[in-house]
Structure 1
Amino acid sequence: NTSLSCHMYRKPCLGVCGCQLLYNLALKKTAVQSSTSGTVGIAGKAVDGNRDANYQSGSCTLTNAESDPWWRVDLVNVYTIGTVMITNRQELENGLDGHQVTECAIISHIPKGQAFYFPCNSVKGRYVTVFLPGSAKVLSLCEVEVYYGQLLYNVALKKTAVQSSTSSTVGTAGRAVDGNRDASYQRGSCTLTSGQSNPWWRVDLVNVYTIGTVMITNRDELENRLDGAEIWIGNSTKISDPESNRCAVISHIPSGQAFYFPCNSVKGRYVTVFLPGSAKVLSLCEVEVYYGKPL
């Protein structure tokens, strides 16, 4: 996953829902919590890189009901923390209300299944703790991400998207720019074309941007469907235009994962995902487009 080595120019974030950050310091680090309910909701589920907000799919932590439950990750080194991101469960919407991220923020409310960012004013530390004061409380987190970098803006978010065809009323093109990385088609978060030759999906960024990176989230089933897909950027809706540039060819994205593809600062208004071949089906769970230069 090239997200771990990707660096891009920064500018102020224009909206929390469209922001992406640099390196997640908490990813795959050791996490502990005050207690664990059952065998599924272990502390490490919140740093596994999976924002799936469904507890039943095994992506979220869960403590017992107790007084003052807490969850903590060890970053190993001391960092200047700029932002912490919390993903709430899609059920138990109010379960995180009142949680405190130590010396950073108090969580007033996060809508169910959503990921919210909390600026931490460059606090230095090695440990990040989420603490819920009170008696008979249950702490459940689907993902905790810790960043030292600035916020970056996803220029594709909520923009107009179209595709070569649409299979059923669920898999519309706009599903890939709704800000939801949920990799389950059944929950209405992914696009889907009919079986056809050379299917494509395209987003109109409205303005011309210097694009550093495109991120693609693959479905959690039918893992190999995106193999061989191409990412194109240009100022024409046609990828055959001489000024259109191919950013990357997707060799493989594991099921349910989000992979970044550096685009060498290509300029363009339209970003197209094109899958060459006959009897192909194109399905995307999220496409994010970031301006700037990749490293």
Structure 2
Amino acid sequence: MKRFPENVALWRTVSASSQYGVWNARYAVDSLHHTCTQTAEETNPWHKVDLLNEYQVKNVAITNRDDLATYQRINGAVLRVGNFRDDIYRNTICAEIPTIPSGVTETYSCGMVGRYVILHIPGAQRILSICELDVNGHQYRTAIGNLASNGSTTQSSTSGDWFAEKAIDGNRGLHGLRKGGCSSTLAETNPWWRLDLSNVYNVSRVVVTNRNDCCVEQINGAEIRIGNSLENNGNNNPRCAVIPAIPGGSYSYSCGGMEGRYVNLIIPGVMKILTLCEVEVFGEGISVAVDCNDKNY
């Protein structure tokens, strides 16, 4: 059974053309081979993984269902990699899959660049079902890499050893307490977390990873704010996005090039807890001199 040491698809954002019963698309990126995804019977069913950045995709491993009655639901699938989110057929074909035996993991060499990995079956009255989709590759555009990795962090309070810096340690720590890779405040009014990028950037997007072992609701209502002021601990800076609710996993929020040195997440309200398993920031540097004696810094 082929498993990649760094599966870049793990708990990334996923979608499917439809969902049959409880067979959620997220089950294909949860690292568990006994949980599977399945579409309804339809024309041209598809499953798509958003890697949230461009990757040089080396290999893709697909695990089929261990069920002699239904394993044929992968038959005729086409594997694609590319940057076209909405028109999946414009993405480059990596492999065509005539079949995969029951319960078997097959690996396909791709060697192509893309943000999206798509599996689809052409034809009418088809059902697409897989149990796992692993992607082996490396980030393609390192020049626009994660700005947060070199930053510094603080938060309004700390629960146990859930320190603020754990949200930028490169470990998505999806399993929270069991893996120890997340930050968390205490229950309080308006809890917040702040990242200092050390320089001013035009922030194109922020990727937030929520825990998935429990308590996914602790992210609900969080605001992403970006700017150059430390007034109210940076929480008065302009707002990029509001996170109403997200399941465990990584989700990308477009900020449209907002200018700022500080990236804050804050949940307004009483008796709130803010837990973050990873915050990634992408953007470009701008020529702005930062005066360290300025009271706003």
Per-residue deviation, 1:156 = 1.0
Per-residue deviation, 1:238 = 3.2
* Candidates 248, 261, 266, aligned match of 2:258: 266
How has the CA–CA distance of structure 1 residues 240 and 121 changed in structure 2, closer, same or farther, with 3 Å as cutoff? closer
* Candidates 226, 236, 251, aligned match of 2:229: 236
Where does structure 1 lack aligned partners over 5 or more consecutive residues? 1-16, 31-43, 65-71, 83-95, 106-119, 129-139
Distance in 1, Cα, partners of 2:134 & 2:229: 38
Identical-residue share of aligned pairs (%): 32
1:193-236 superposed Cα distances (whole Å, 9 cap, x missing partner): 11112111011111111012112122212122222211111112
Distance in 2, Cα, partners of 1:231 & 1:249: 6
| Aligned pairs for 1:88-237 within 5 A | 101-102=108-109, 104=110, 120=112, 143-144=134-135, 152-169=144-161, 171-185=162-176, 186-220=178-212, 221-237=214-230
Where does structure 2 lack aligned partners over 5 or more consecutive residues? 1-5, 38-61, 67-76, 81-87, 95-104, 121-130, 285-297
TM-score, scaled to structure 2 = 0.54
How has the CA–CA distance of structure 1 residues 274 and 61 changed in structure 2, closer, same or farther, with 3 Å as cutoff? same
Please tell me the residue identity of whatever aligns with 1:79. Answer: N
Equivalent position SS for 2:147: coil
Distance in 2, Cα, partners of 1:49 & 1:239: 41
How has the CA–CA distance of structure 1 residues 160 and 56 changed in structure 2, closer, same or farther, with 3 Å as cutoff? farther
TM-score, scaled to structure 1 = 0.54
Instruction: State the match for 2:269 in structure 1.
Output: 277
Q: What is the alpha-carbon root mean square deviation over aligned residues?
A: 4.5
How has the CA–CA distance of structure 1 residues 187 and 211 changed in structure 2, closer, same or farther, with 3 Å as cutoff? same
Distance in 2, Cα, partners of 1:262 & 1:177: 19
Per-residue deviation, 1:161 = 1.3
Per-residue deviation, 1:271 = 0.2
Per-residue deviation, 1:180 = 2.4
1:50-109 superposed Cα distances (whole Å, 9 cap, x missing partner): 754566888994899xxxxxxx86337363489xxxxxxxxxxxxx9xx9742x45xxxx
How has the CA–CA distance of structure 1 residues 249 and 127 changed in structure 2, closer, same or farther, with 3 Å as cutoff? closer
Please tell me the residue identity of whatever aligns with 1:270. Answer: Y
Equivalent position SS for 1:224: helix
How has the CA–CA distance of structure 1 residues 127 and 247 changed in structure 2, closer, same or farther, with 3 Å as cutoff? closer
How has the CA–CA distance of structure 1 residues 197 and 146 changed in structure 2, closer, same or farther, with 3 Å as cutoff? same
Please tell me the residue identity of whatever aligns with 1:235. Answer: N
Per-residue deviation, 1:262 = 1.9
Per-residue deviation, 1:247 = 1.2
How has the CA–CA distance of structure 1 residues 192 and 211 changed in structure 2, closer, same or farther, with 3 Å as cutoff? same
Per-residue deviation, 1:142 = 6.0
How has the CA–CA distance of structure 1 residues 245 and 271 changed in structure 2, closer, same or farther, with 3 Å as cutoff? same
Equivalent position SS for 2:224: strand
How has the CA–CA distance of structure 1 residues 182 and 54 changed in structure 2, closer, same or farther, with 3 Å as cutoff? farther
- 8 Å CA contact 1:183–1:256 kept in 2: the answer is yes
Give the total of aligned pairs.
207
- 8 Å CA contact 1:51–1:182 kept in 2: the answer is no
- 8 Å CA contact 1:175–1:191 kept in 2: the answer is yes
Within the alignment, does 1:249 sit opposite 2:261 as a pair?
no
Instruction: State the match for 1:74 in structure 2.
Output: 79
Equivalent position SS for 2:231: coil
Distance in 2, Cα, partners of 1:150 & 1:272: 25
How has the CA–CA distance of structure 1 residues 286 and 142 changed in structure 2, closer, same or farther, with 3 Å as cutoff? farther
Q: Which structure has the larger Rg?
A: 2
Per-residue deviation, 1:168 = 0.7
- 8 Å CA contact 1:233–1:272 kept in 2: the answer is yes
- 8 Å CA contact 1:211–1:290 kept in 2: the answer is yes
